[in-house]
Structure 1
Amino acid sequence: MLTLTYDGGKIFRITVPPTALITRFEVADRSAVAIGSAVFIKTDPGDRAALVTVGKGITPPM
């Protein structure tokens, strides 16, 4: 159970099942991207890539 407090004291509770995947981010170079990789790309205005997330065995969770 996660409890978030925001906007001056509003409380929101989120139940996380025990089967939920836990992920972490690691800095990598371009060699982490390969044909067939699952990726998530965040762009800046002008459609320039600002962040590229590459899944290792799983699809990025975004």
Structure 2
Amino acid sequence: MTALCLMADRQGEWLVIHECLACGELSANRIAGDDNALVLLRMAVRPLSHGRLPARALLGL
């Protein structure tokens, strides 16, 4: 399994989306208190670092 990204569910709980390296199946797991906060933060901002989102869209948030 490899961690792909983060998402928030309707209750505001954060989930890590994993992909199985063998079959490609996706699964979601809740973050835990002992998860590395820096790694989670890096995963959360990864889409912003690709430059596909215009800066003006970020300023509107």
TM-score (norm 2): 0.24
The structure whose residues are more often helix, as a share, is: 2
The structure whose Rg is larger is 1
TM-score (norm 1): 0.24
Higher relative contact order (CA 8 A, sep 6+): 2
